[in-house]
Structure 1
Amino acid sequence: MSEIRWIVLDIEGTTSSTESVHVGLYAYARPRLGPWIDGRPGDPDVRSAVAQVKAEAGLPEEAATAEVVRVLHEWMDGDVKATPLKTLQGRIWAEGFAAGELTAHFFPDVAPALRAWHEAGHRLAVFSSGSVASQRPWFRHTDAGDLSTLVERHFDTVNAGPKREPASYTRIAQDLGEPATLLFLSDVPAELDAAAAAGWRTTGVRRPGEPSAAADFGPHPVVTSFEEVRVR
């Protein structure tokens, strides 16, 4: 079997608790969406995200910010992995981290494992539905110190594609290398299925108390801590 060269990490439910995202980060972004949009009328990323929201929600082009925010809040409530929502949230969160108003939560076993894997020569990447703009500060401002220097590559639904489609993992492999040398860690069986279909190696992460704690991981190896992950 080929040696693992890259370990690719999911975030929510895998490295970090779902609650820390849905309660902490979502609560931070929710009241800021409207002012953020209105305060950056010339920002091309904001304009593009707003246009995408209107298009996906069937809103008229002249719809007011309040209507756009209503849709964004509905998506947040339903945990919809919509790219324009992730883009706007990511920008807001990045500012919050930079201002010292946010700190990322990581499970206690994660930081030691990441440092050990990095020291052993394994390269680390992230594939999350959260935007790259939110991933970078998430790893930089953590309760376990700055972990951003350990992570070399970041992938999201914009630069890779949906996390439950094999084509997204094929696309990432074109950047990282032979699929058999890539290991994906996630708490979502459907994501692991997609990665395996693209030729990747996979490991399911079953975190007690997380939404996928009782999930059926099928043929994928399963761990409850990064200490149990086999990287050889």
Structure 2
Amino acid sequence: MTLKAILTDIEGTTSAVSFVFDVLFPYARAHLPDFVRTHAEQPEVALQLEAVRQETGETQADVEHVISILLDWIEADRKATPLKVLQGMVWQQGYEAGQLKGHVYPDAVRALRRWKTAGYSLYVYSSGSIQAQKLIFGYAEVGDLTPLFSGYFDTTSGGKRDTTSYQGIAKAIGFAASEILFLSDIKEELDAARQAGMQTIGLARQGGILEGHTTVADFEAINL
């Protein structure tokens, strides 16, 4: 089967889950309140605060109450778009200040570089915002990896367990779904991509099998 593009998840796939939960989330939790207070009047921040009010139905919530909602969402790992956007803004400050460095597994770095050189188009699909995705790869420990990628997709393209999301991504990329390989550590995401017609490989870095899909322990074991 012809393969032209590779679409990869981040958390648990190219990057350690612990980086997100032990580094990024605590950083956002610590810095988001002051960031929101300082920048609440800026249009791009105000837009996200209003989105929180609309999503919760608390249309009259003041800035401090919106901050408390955002902190609750962080604790619950809520996949809410306004939270993801605001977290991305906070993380950008951290990356630019040198306080954060994106974690990408060395085996993933080697494989992505090899695939790019071989002529495959590389894309990212993660529940983190596109901005957050670009930051992880742009400020990676090994340097800027963003030149490897041709595009990024997040939850604005739909849920990662919804088949229609992958159909839409294939259309946006411009390849037939069957020409795209999707990599993830979540069976339900792989199932949805497979149902959309994509090829799939599961990453199980801690061992085990993602039922119904070819499963490997790292990127070095992926044979295109």
8 Å CA contact 1:128–1:156 kept in 2: the answer is yes
Report the equivalent of 1:221. Answer: 214
**Quick check: 1:72–1:85 contact (8 Å CA) kept in 2?**
yes
Task: Please give the alpha-carbon distance, in whole angstroms, between the structure 2 residues aligned to 1:22 and 1:69.
Answer: 19
Asked if 1:46 is matched to 2:45, the reply is: yes
Letter in 1 for 2:218: S
Aligned length: 223
Q: Does 1:127 align with 2:125?
A: yes
**Which residue of the other structure, out of 133, 145, 148, is the alignment partner of 1:147?**
145
Alignment of 1:96-175 (within 5 A): 96-158=94-156, 160-175=157-172
Shift of 1:43: 2.8
Q: In structure 2, which of residues 198, 203, 206 is the aligned counterpart of residue 205 of structure 1?
A: 203
TM-score where L is the length of structure 1:
0.91
State the SS of the aligned residue for 1:183. Answer: strand
Give the structure 2 partner of residue 10 of structure 1. 9
Q: Give unmatched runs, 5+ long, in structure 1.
A: none
For the aligned residue pairs, the C-alpha RMSD in angstroms reads 1.4
- Cα distance in 1 for residues equivalent to 2:64 and 2:185: 35
Q: Distance in 2 between matches of 1:81 and 1:41?
A: 21
Bigger CA drift: 35-44 or 167-176? 35-44
> Contact 1:34/1:65 (CA < 8 Å) preserved in 2?
no
Q: Percent identity?
A: 40
Secondary structure (helix, strand or coil) at the match of 1:90 reads: helix
- Secondary structure of the residue that 2:88 maps to in structure 1? helix
* Structure richer in helix, relative to its length: 2
Structure 1 residue 71, shift from structure 2 partner: 1.6
Residue of structure 1 equivalent to 2:76? 78
Runs of 4+ in 1 over 4 A off after TM superposition: none
Q: What amino acid does structure 1 have at the position aligned with 2:163?
A: P
Q: Which runs of 5+ in 2 are unaligned?
A: none
SS of residue paired to 2:151: strand
Query: Structure 1 residues 40-49 or 175-184, which shifts more?
Result: 40-49
Q: Give the SS at the match of 1:143.
A: coil
Shift of 1:26: 0.9
Task: Tell me what 1:63 maps to.
Answer: 61
Shift of 1:156: 0.6
Distance 1:162 1:48 in 2: 22
TM-score (norm 2): 0.94
User: Matches of 1:152 and 1:190 in 2, distance apart?
Assistant: 25
The Cα of 1:21 is off from its aligned counterpart by 0.8
Aligned counterparts of 2:170 and 2:215: Cα–Cα separation in 1: 22
- Residue pair 2:53, 2:60 contacting (<8 A) in 1 also: no
Q: In the alignment, which residue of structure 2 is the partner of 1:195?
A: 193
Deviation of 1:146 (Å): 1.8
